[in-house]
Amino acid sequence: MLANEYVEHEQELRADLQQTYNVDIDHAIAGAHSAYHIACLVAQLPIDARIRVTHDADCRWTLDNVLLARLCNSFSMFVYGMSDKKKRGAPPKLIGPSCMTNNQQMRTLPARVLPVSELIEILNKPRG
């Protein structure tokens, strides 16, 4: 990892640990906390932590925001579908995380082969 990337990630991690757990990295380095303790805290940082958002922009999308985006997209597509075909133009742009807005990604999802034993197990589960 390059030195400037390390400094950038250290600042994000420092802010996340301070905000979430009130843990100061300087005290941890001085021996107040073990490396294992800090690693466990980092592994349990919330999904919208700075360190995660910089690596994956979709982490900014909470469940509430995704559901609202789905509603907005559904309503926009409904209005688009009900409008006059001669006057409506291009469909509206979808909002949401990349899995909802990237049509190319949606079309190229990898298929998963399901073993027969696993399929039978799923089909034998009680329903209702």
The pLDDT of residue 1 is 45
Query: CB neighbours of 58 closer than 8 A, spacing ≥ 6?
Result: 97, 98, 99
- Tens of pLDDT along 92-121? 888 888 878 776 555 555 677 888 888 888
pLDDT at 78 over 90: yes
Contact between 86 and 80 under an 8 Å Cβ cutoff? The reply is no
- pTM for the model stands at 0.52
Name which of 104, 84, 10, 77 is nearest 50 in CA terms.
Answer: 10
